Amino acid sequence: MGINDSNIEKPTFIDLFCGAGGMSLGFEEAEFQGVCAVDFHPDPLKTYELNRANLKKKLLILNEDIRALKGDAILMRIAKRFKRKENIDVIIGGPPCQGFSLRGKRNKQDPRNNLLFEFFRLIEEIKPEIFVFENVPGLLMKKYNDTLNTIFKTITSLGYRYGFELLNSADYGVPQNRERFIIIGSKSCEKIYFPKIHQTRKSDILNFINRENQKYDVVPYVKRKVTAFEALDDIAYKNNEENPTLYSKTPNGPFQENFQWKKNRLYNHVTTRHSLTTRKRFSQFKQGHSMEDIPEDYRTKRSSVQRMYARKPTRTITSCNEDFIHYSLNRIITIREMARIQSYPDSYVFYGTPTTGGSRRRLSCCQVQQVGNSVPPLLAQAIAECVRKMLGLGSNNKLKNFIDILNNRDINNQINKRRVNLGNKDLQPFNN
């Protein structure tokens, strides 16, 4: 095992393309210790670092272009920081996915696509026991078969056995249907472990490639998915006059109990100051309705806007909160509500400019982008538990216990406790 932050040995990991730290957080919750985090952009790195202030002396954070980094140089800098040489147990990372994203332009020639192979170059140079590669489901599209086959051939040439799966974050307690394509590789394990999945999606690649080396018996799945109401009810404040820094509602159900900060502080929860016209337009949206479903006089060209369902997980959170209208309030969701939907605890604070638009998005990485681009920590934790088993380690059962609680919760009782009715007719009425 690797470097310790206490007397208890913990397996070590390096996070490439770490962003704001969602994937790292999941591995930390599964009792891994990060020793190095790399990202090209300083904004999410600030969030990453400030949420780990207690680990500052034990974590090497590199604001550098991965294309200029060499594996031996990273290992030397880690050894210098810790004053001893260590083997790295795991490398995790999700290279930029805009070229493959189902919501993007899906440009096969996007230069960021090449960062996939920079990830595997560092796998070759650092030689971890296990790696975890995360990306968008769009990589499974037929048009990218050549890219995917090249990835698989590269992994095999590096001496790793591998398995791959399409995981839905909602299966592991995330209140959001967010699919992610995961590859796990190991130098020595014959079996590749994944968390249990509720339903296998149909895909030529997923269904027709032999994956007999994969097992699914580490982490259970949530039978009844966590809903938007369960995730957000305790912080459902109506407008700017109610922007809180303290909770005014007690947790209602296991998700809120798990995610409210015990210090009773609430950050990144500033509602947008909508115009009268915008608020009136939002009042026309019923749950699940998009722009095309409202009266024509209220429509704009922004077709991606939709009101969330209260009693369902949300659709995939993106880096634009303007597309998500609160299930019962006539406003878009806040950054903290986005973070809840991504399964970040309220103690995890995001830094930098809250939002940016237009060409400025190319130069900065605002809080909305940091949250929207994240790997949900609960999904990462489920994967980390599988990696622990492959390393021959036991589990702290934190995630399993949480999922067991979710599977035994009474959703109707939570709704009754708040004395609310979540039918479409009971949406917050429009007022000035």
Which are the catalytic amino acids?
A: 97
Determine the 3-state secondary structure of 363 from DSSP. coil
Are 69 and 372 within 8 A, CB to CB? Answer: no
Beta-strand ranges (E) seen in 68-197 are: 90-93, 130-135, 161-168, 179-186, 192-193
- Cβ-in-10-Å burial (0-12, 13-18, 19+) of 142 comes to exposed
**Angle at CA of residue 60, ends 54 and 66, nearest 5°:** 140
Q: Letter for the amino acid at 140?
A: L
Contacts of 53 (CB under 8 A, 6+ apart): none
Would you list the DSSP string of 182-242? Answer: EEEEESS-SSEE----S-PPP-HHHHHS--TTEE--SS---SSPPPHHHHHGGG---SGGG
Q: Tell me the C-alpha distance between 278 and 63, whole Å.
A: 39
DSSP bridge pairs for 9: none
The structure tokens listed for 348 are: 């995890």
Residue-wise over 284-315: b if at least 16 C-beta within 10 A, else e?
A: bbebebbbeebeeeebeeeeebbbbbbebbbb
In angstroms, the Cα distances linking 297 to 292, 300, 326, 354, 419 are: 11, 9, 21, 31, 34
Residue 181, classed as helix, strand or coil, is strand
CA 91 to chain CA mean position, Å: 17
Name the token pair of 378: 């609960």
Identify the CA nearest to 31 among candidates 400, 395, 305: 395
Residue type, 146: D
Listing DSSP states for 310-344 in one string gives SSS-B----S-GGGEE-SSSSSBPPHHHHHHHTT-
- Token output for 85: 């040489």
Asked if residues 165 and 130 have their Cβ atoms less than 8 Å apart, the reply is no
